[in-house]
Each structure stands twice: as C-alpha cells, then as structure tokens.
Amino acid sequence: MTPSLPEEARKLANSEGVAPINFINIAVAEKVSAWRTEAYFDERARRADVPKALRVLERAGVGNPP
C-alpha cells in the first residue's frame, strides 16, 4: 500500500463520519460488488442469443405508438 493511501482513507472516513476500518470495509465491499456485477454480465453475454434479441427489438413499439 502506498504511504499516502491510509492517510487519504482516514481523511475520507472522517469526512463521512465513519471509522476508518468501516470506510475500508465499505470500499472493499463496493469493489467486490463491482467485480461480481461484471462477472454476472459477462456470463449473461456468453449465453446471449443475439438473433433472438434482435427479433424482439424489431417488434418493439409495433402497434404501440408513443
């Protein structure tokens, strides 16, 4: 960890009114969530049926004017 990072984390934690360890826990949880979300969408993209999706999009709005 770079020497300036703990001090910056401490400053941000204080500005948010939380303990530094809680701030770190929240930051790690946010990063883990971002990675899991990326993995979820990667998996969904691998299973995608693009031609089927395009057929659905072609029907969108047909007979339902804005």
Q: For residue 66, give both structure tokens.
A: 């804005």
pLDDT at 56: 87
**pLDDT value at 65 more than 70:** no
Give the Å distances, CA to CA, from 28 to 23, 31, 32, 41, 48.
Answer: 9, 5, 6, 20, 30
Encode pLDDT of 18-58 as tens digits.
999 999 999 999 999 999 999 999 999 999 999 999 998 88
Q: What is the pLDDT of residues 14-27, one digit of tens each?
A: 999 999 999 999 99
Put simply, whether the predicted model's pTM sits higher than 0.75 gets the answer no
pLDDT of residue 66: 62
What is the predicted pLDDT for the residue at 63?
Answer: 77
